């Protein structure tokens, strides 16, 4: 299907018709033939709509935007196929029922009143973005997402119902999560579950993350058990004050391993075997370097608290640096 992104000029008449011209003929959005292909994008944003025109049997090759209609409570009438992006942000939607079956671009539905994602497209070629939706469940989320999946700032307890495959980043920070159960097995980009203050365990986390993994600022996290086995980018578990060791950490981290300013950390037991970037455990209560990675590609960072470790064996191929406490405090302020 050819993609036309040009926004089609619409004329709103007093008798409720929404007129446009295509291929030299005039059409009404409310009365289109079955299977009609609209060659371009439709913008119905901020039109004070209470319902959508009936496009349920139409195909739109470009984008469809019905955002900022604060009286719109339903997607009834939405097109069945959208070749570009589908955007329905800042409405009063209670459900995604009647949303398109397929969206070639991204699907954006933030700032609505959804409890779950039932009715969402089964496949989305780009991003799926649903923050600030009062979600209590991800049930109904697309199975396949080619881009990023963003569901932060919701009321989720777990990630059950998540997409099976995510081609980009998976972002679920500030969600009140108590568990990561239901997360995809593989995330091709970053996985960010930071700032979930009820999260006690990483059980259910993806097995492999091709980008960064961030579980920082999770104050109740008691263990790294369940963390991905392999993280190709950075691994960040900083500011998690209940962790006392690194047991359960990934075996391999391709980027930096950040574990700074964890006040209870006394041991490096369980640390990754290999870290491609920096290994930062500054601002902790380390008493020994036992358990440190065998290989660190960048700097090994710790602070002046660790005095007796100077004579201990350190990882190979590193540049060891000790960080003054005033710098650590600046890191925390950031």
Could you report the per-residue pLDDT of 130-182, keeping only the tens digit for each?
Answer: 999 999 999 999 999 999 999 999 999 999 999 999 999 999 999 999 999 99
Q: How far is CA 48 from the centre of its chain?
A: 31
How far apart CA 127 and CA 130 sit, in angstroms, is 10
Residue 117, domain member (yes or no): yes
Residue 224, domain member (yes or no): no
**8 Å CB contact between 214 and 191:** yes
Residue 53, domain member (yes or no): yes
Long-range contact pairs involving 240-248 (C-beta distance under 8 Å, separation at least 24) = 240/215, 240/216, 245/269, 245/270, 246/270, 246/271, 246/291, 247/223, 248/202, 248/223, 248/224
38-75 residue pLDDT tens? 999 999 999 999 999 999 999 999 999 999 999 999 99
Residue 58, domain member (yes or no): yes
Q: How many domains in the chain?
A: 1
Query: Within 10 A of 29 (CB to CB), how many other CB atoms are there?
Result: 22
**8 Å CB contact between 76 and 51:** yes
Closest CA relative to residue 199, chosen from 185, 216, 182, 183: 216
Range of the domain at 37: 1-155
How far apart CA 166 and CA 161 sit, in angstroms, is 13
Residue 312, domain member (yes or no): no
pLDDT band of residue 321 (cuts 50, 70, 90) is low
Residue 46, domain member (yes or no): yes
Residue 172, domain member (yes or no): no
Residue 169, domain member (yes or no): no
Name beta bridge partners: 128.
Answer: 107, 149
pTM of the predicted model as reported, rounded to 2 decimal places: 0.89
């Amino acid at each position: 299907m050819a993609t036309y992104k040009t926004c089609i000029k619409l004329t709103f008449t007093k008798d409720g018709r929404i007129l446009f011209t295509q291929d030299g003929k005039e059409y009404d959005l409310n009365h289109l033939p079955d299977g009609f292909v609209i060659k371009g994008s439709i913008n119905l944003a901020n039109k004070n709509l209470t319902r959508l025109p009936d496009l349920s049997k139409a195909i739109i090759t470009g984008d469809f935007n019905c955002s900022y209609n604060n009286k719109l409570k339903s997607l009834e009438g939405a097109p069945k196929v959208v070749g570009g992006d589908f955007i329905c942000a800042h409405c009063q939607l209670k459900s995604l029922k009647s949303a398109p079956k397929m969206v070639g671009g991204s699907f954006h539905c933030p700032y609505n009143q959804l409890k779950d994602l039932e009715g969402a497209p089964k496949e989305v070629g780009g991003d799926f973005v649903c923050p600030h939706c009062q979600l209590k469940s991800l049930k109904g989320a697309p199975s396949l997402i080619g881009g990023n999946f963003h569901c932060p700032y919701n009321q989720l307890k777990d990630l059950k119902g998540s997409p099976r495959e995510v081609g980009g980043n998976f972002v679920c920070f500030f969600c009140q999560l108590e568990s990561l159960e239901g997360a995809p097995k593989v995330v091709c980009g970053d996985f960010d579950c930071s700032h979930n203050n009820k999260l006690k365990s990483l059980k259910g986390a993806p097995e492999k993350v091709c980008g960064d993994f961030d579980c920082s600022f999770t104050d109740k996290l008691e263990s790294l058990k369940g963390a991905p086995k392999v993280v190709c980018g950075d691994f960040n578990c900083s500011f998690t004050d209940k962790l006392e060791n690194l047991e359960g950490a990934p075996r391999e981290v391709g980027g930096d391993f950040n574990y700074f300013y964890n006040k209870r950390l006394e041991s490096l037991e369980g640390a990754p075997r290999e870290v491609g970037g920096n290994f930062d455990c500054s601002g902790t209560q380390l008493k020994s370097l036992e358990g440190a990675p065998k290989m660190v590609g960048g700097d090994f960072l710790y602070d002046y608290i660790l005095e007796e470790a100077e004579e201990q064996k350190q990882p190979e191929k590193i540049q060891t640096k000790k960080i003054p406490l005033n710098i650590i405090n600046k890191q925390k302020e950031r």
